[in-house]
């Protein structure tokens, strides 16, 4: 059995809890040396990965904003983060499936990312349950997977626009969310977000590392290429306030963070 086949099975699993279990088991089997790597690129586009019938997916501007000062509002906030983490499992699995030719180290790193995302999702689902809700009880959007589809045939674009752009937004957003939760004394959710922020710095750093590796192969200047890809794909660029400390830890340079101000002009 090869790792790509099992990554595809986990990717297409529609049941969240089973997807998490398959992902965790896949990482364990890979680390134990039980699986081979075919090294062949995935054929065909995965338009829709395995997912439950709910939540209902709507455009980002149709996802309602709710106040964390109410229990439903806090639950909606937790649900939004849980949805991001659920999609992040699929994104990491798709990296293994689609780009395993990058080598064993690449597969090891992205299976670790997938497993950690599954852990985050499980923690958030437990928190939702404690608040009286479940994953699927609120609407969500499909922005992360949409970008995965757009970049499924270009390793450089995938590393730039998923971990380095979209997932890095979580580094900026998490402290703002935490500030709101401190106001209402929600220490349980705060503790989960501390774990997620710590791990996500590492995930963005992995994407940054492979983006720079591929830029070196192609003879490209990474930070200029990042800006070009954002414009080429019509993506929203990084916007202040930035979590400078987290982004520096994830591989962004001080000069690049300063130049993000130019995106606003």
pLDDT in tens, 60-84: 878 888 888 899 999 999 999 999 9
* Residues spanned by the domain of 259: 3-32+63-264
State pLDDT tens for residues 123-165. Answer: 999 999 999 999 999 999 999 999 999 999 999 999 999 999 9
> Residue 32's CB: how many other CB atoms inside 10 A?
8
Using only C-alpha atoms, what is the Rg of the chain? 18
The total domain count for the chain is 1
Asked whether residue 40 is assigned to any structural domain, the reply reads no
Asked whether residue 47 is assigned to any structural domain, the reply reads no
Asked whether residue 197 is assigned to any structural domain, the reply reads yes
pLDDT at res. 43: 66
Shortest CA distance to 77 belongs to which of 95, 91, 60, 65?
A: 65
Percent of the chain with pLDDT over 90: 89
Asked whether residue 39 is assigned to any structural domain, the reply reads no
Asked whether residue 42 is assigned to any structural domain, the reply reads no
Whole-model pTM?
Answer: 0.96
pLDDT at res. 1: 82
Find the CATH number of the domain harbouring 246: 1.20.1260
160 token code pair? 């730039």
Asked whether residue 143 is assigned to any structural domain, the reply reads yes
Asked whether residue 128 is assigned to any structural domain, the reply reads yes
> Residue 40's CB: how many other CB atoms inside 10 A?
10
């Amino acid at each position: 059995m090869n790792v790509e086949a099992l990554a595809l099975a986990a990717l297409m699993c529609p049941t969240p809890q089973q997807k998490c279990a398959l992902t965790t088991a896949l990482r364990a089997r890979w680390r134990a040396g039980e699986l081979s790597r075919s090294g062949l690129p995935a054929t065909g586009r995965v338009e829709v990965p395995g997912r439950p019938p709910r939540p209902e997916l709507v455009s980002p501007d149709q996802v309602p904003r709710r106040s964390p000062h109410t229990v439903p509002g806090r639950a909606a906030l937790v649900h939004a983060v849980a949805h991001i983490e659920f999609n992040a499992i699929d994104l990491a699995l798709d990296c293994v499936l689609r780009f395993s030719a990058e080598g064993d180290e690449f597969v090891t790193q992205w299976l670790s990312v997938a497993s950690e995302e599954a852990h985050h999702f499980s923690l958030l689902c437990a928190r939702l349950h404690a608040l009286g809700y479940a994953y699927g009880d609120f609407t969500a959007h499909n922005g992360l997977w949409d970008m995965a589809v757009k970049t499924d045939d270009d390793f450089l674009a995938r590393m730039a626009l998923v971990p380095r752009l979209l997932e890095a937004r979580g580094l900026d957003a998490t402290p703002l969310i935490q500030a709101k939760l401190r106001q209402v004394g929600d220490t349980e959710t705060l503790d989960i977000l501390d774990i997620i922020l710590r791990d996500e710095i590492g995930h963005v750093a992995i994407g940054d590392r492979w983006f720079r590796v591929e830029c070196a192969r192609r003879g490209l200047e990474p930070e200029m290429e990042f800006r070009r890809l954002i414009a080429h794909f019509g993506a929203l660029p990084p916007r202040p306030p930035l979590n400078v400390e987290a982004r520096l830890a994830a591989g962004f340079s001080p000069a690049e963070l300063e130049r993000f101000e130019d995106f606003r002009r």
